[in-house]
Amino acid sequence: MENEGGYIPLTEQAQAFISGHVQEGDGAIDATVGNGHDTAFLARLVGAGGKVFGFDIQPAAIETAREKLARLGLARRVEWICDCHGKLARHIPEDWHGRIQAVMINLGYLPGSDKRITTHPRTTLAALSQALDLLSPTGRISIIAYTGHGGGQEEANAIGQWLATRLPGQRRWRRVVPGGRRSPPQLFLIGQGQPPTDRQCDNPKKKLVPATTP
35 belongs to the binding site for ligand SAM (CB under 6 A): yes
The CB density around residue 174, as the number of other CB atoms within 10 Å, is: 21
Binding to ligand SAM (CB under 6 A) within 69-98 occurs at 84-86
Candidate list 32, 64, 101, 200; residue touching ligand SAM; CB under 6 A: 32
The closest of 89, 107, 87, 110 to 98, measured between CA atoms, is 89
Mind spelling out the 3-state secondary structure of 32-72? CCCCCHHHHHHHHHHCCCCEEEEECCCHHHHHHHHHHHHHC
By beta-carbon proximity to ligand SAM, the closer residue of 115 and 193 is 115
Of 2-10, 28-36, 44-52, 190-198, which segment contacts ligand SAM by CB under 6 A?
28-36
**Smallest gap, in angstroms, from Cβ of residue 118 to ligand SAM?**
6
Q: Is residue 55 near ligand SAM by the rule CB under 6 A?
A: yes
Tell me how far apart the alpha carbons of residues 187 and 18 are, in angstroms, rounded to a whole number: 13
Indicate which single residue of 108, 121, 152, 191 sits in contact with ligand SAM (rule: CB under 6 A): 108
Q: Which stretch binds ligand SAM (CB under 6 A): 67-75, 115-123, 160-168, 204-212?
A: 115-123
| Residue 167 binds ligand SAM (CB under 6 A) | no
Residue among 34 and 196 whose Cβ is closer to ligand SAM:
34
108: left (phi over 0), alpha (psi -120 to 50) or beta: left
Closest to 208 measured CA to CA, from 177, 185, 184: 177
What minimum distance in Å lies between the beta carbon of 61 and ligand SAM? 4
